[in-house]
C-alpha cells in the first residue's frame, strides 16, 4: 500500500504537474506551494503562499496565483532570454569567444528554448529545475535567478567567462501587474518584459498552412484530406487538426501575426484545442478579450 501511494504522488502520474514546485517564493521569502480546487467538474491549479495553507499567528496576507498564468510567464521569460544572443553572452561572459564557438552556444540555447516551449511537461520541469535557482514574486516584478554554471553546462561550456567576482546567479527581471481579488490575484505580464519582439514563427506557419490547404481543397488542387496529407508529406490527423484554424476570427489572426497572443498559446496547443465555430466562443476559449484592439 505504501508503495502504491508513493507512485500516485509522483510528478509523472499527476494530472497536471506543477512546473515550479519548490522554486517560487513571495516578496517576504515564503514558499508558494502548488494546490488546486475543483469547480463544476474542472480542476484549477494555484500557487499559494505557504502561510495561507498553514496559518501561523495572525498573518493573513499572501498570494494565491493561477498556476497556468505564472508558469506561462516564467517559461516565456526564460525562453525569451535563451533566444536573445546578447543576454546569453552577457550571462556567460562570452564577449571574447570566437564566433564559431559562440554560434554553437546560441544554437544550443535556441534548442533549449524550443524544448521549454514544446517539450513534455516532464522535460519542461527538468529544464526549469536545472536552470532556475529561485523565483521571487513581488507586486510589480518576478525575479528569476538563473544558475550561471548550470546554464553554461546546458549550452556546452565547461566554465563561465572569466573569474572577475561576478555572482553565480544571473537575474531576469519580468515586469508584471498583480491584480488582487482578496488573496487571489490575476497576473499580467507587461509588454516588453520577456516577450519576443518577433511573432511566433511556428504559429504563423501553422495558420499559413491552414489557409493554403483550405484553398487547395476549394480550388481542386487536392481532392481530399488524405490527398492533402500526401502532397505535403504530413500525417492525415495533423492535417485534420490544422484545417479548422483557417476559420479563426480575423482579429485573432492579426493578434497572432503581431505576436500579441496570450503567453501560453503555442502552435502545438492551438492544433489540439478543439476550436468552436463562433468567433466569440473562440475568443473566450483562447482567453482573448471580446474586443481585441487591432
pLDDT in tens, the chain (294 residues): 555 554 444 444 445 578 999 999 998 899 999 998 888 788 888 999 888 887 665 555 778 888 888 998 899 889 989 988 888 888 888 777 777 778 888 899 999 999 998 888 899 999 999 999 999 998 888 999 999 999 999 988 765 554 444 458 889 888 877 666 555 666 665 544 544 445 788 899 999 999 999 999 999 999 999 999 999 999 999 999 999 999 999 999 988 887 777 656 788 888 888 888 899 888 888 866 544 444
Overall pTM > 0.85: no
Residue 163: CB atoms within 10 A of its CB come to: 8
CA distance 267 to 199: 12
What pairs with residue 64 in β-bridges? Answer: 48, 184
Amino acid at each position: 500500500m505504501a508503495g502504491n501511494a508513493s507512485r500516485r504522488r509522483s510528478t509523472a502520474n499527476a494530472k497536471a504537474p506543477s512546473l515550479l514546485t519548490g522554486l517560487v517564493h513571495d516578496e517576504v521569502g515564503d514558499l508558494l506551494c502548488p494546490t488546486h480546487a475543483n469547480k463544476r467538474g474542472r480542476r484549477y491549479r494555484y500557487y499559494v503562499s505557504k502561510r495561507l495553507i498553514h496559518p501561523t499567528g495572525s498573518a493573513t496576507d499572501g498570494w494565491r496565483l493561477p498556476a497556468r498564468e505564472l508558469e506561462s510567464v516564467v517559461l516565456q521569460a526564460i525562453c525569451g532570454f535563451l533566444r536573445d544572443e546578447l543576454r546569453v553572452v552577457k550571462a556567460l561572459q562570452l564577449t571574447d569567444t570566437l564566433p564559431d564557438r559562440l554560434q554553437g552556444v546560441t544554437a544550443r540555447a535556441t534548442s533549449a528554448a524550443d524544448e521549454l516551449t514544446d517539450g513534455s511537461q516532464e522535460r519542461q520541469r527538468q529544464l526549469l529545475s536545472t536552470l532556475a535557482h529561485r523565483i521571487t514574486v513581488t507586486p510589480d516584478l518576478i525575479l528569476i535567478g538563473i544558475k550561471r554554471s548550470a546554464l553554461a553546462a546546458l549550452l556546452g561550456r565547461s566554465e563561465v567567462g572569466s573569474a572577475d567576482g561576478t555572482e553565480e546567479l544571473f537575474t531576469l527581471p519580468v515586469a508584471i501587474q498583480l491584480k488582487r481579488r482578496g488573496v487571489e490575484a490575476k497576473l499580467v505580464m507587461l509588454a516588453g518584459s520577456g516577450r519576443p519582439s518577433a511573432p511566433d514563427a511556428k504559429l504563423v506557419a501553422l495558420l499559413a498552412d491552414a489557409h493554403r490547404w483550405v484553398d487547395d481543397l476549394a480550388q481542386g488542387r487536392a481532392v481530399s484530406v488524405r490527398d492533402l496529407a500526401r502532397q505535403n508529406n504530413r500525417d492525415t490527423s495533423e492535417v485534420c487538426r490544422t484545417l479548422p484554424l483557417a476559420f479563426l476570427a480575423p482579429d485573432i489572426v492579426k493578434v497572432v501575426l503581431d505576436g500579441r497572443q496570450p503567453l501560453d498559446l503555442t502552435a502545438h496547443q492551438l492544433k489540439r484545442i478543439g476550436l468552436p465555430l463562433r468567433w466569440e466562443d473562440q475568443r473566450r476559449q483562447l482567453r482573448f478579450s471580446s474586443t481585441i484592439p487591432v
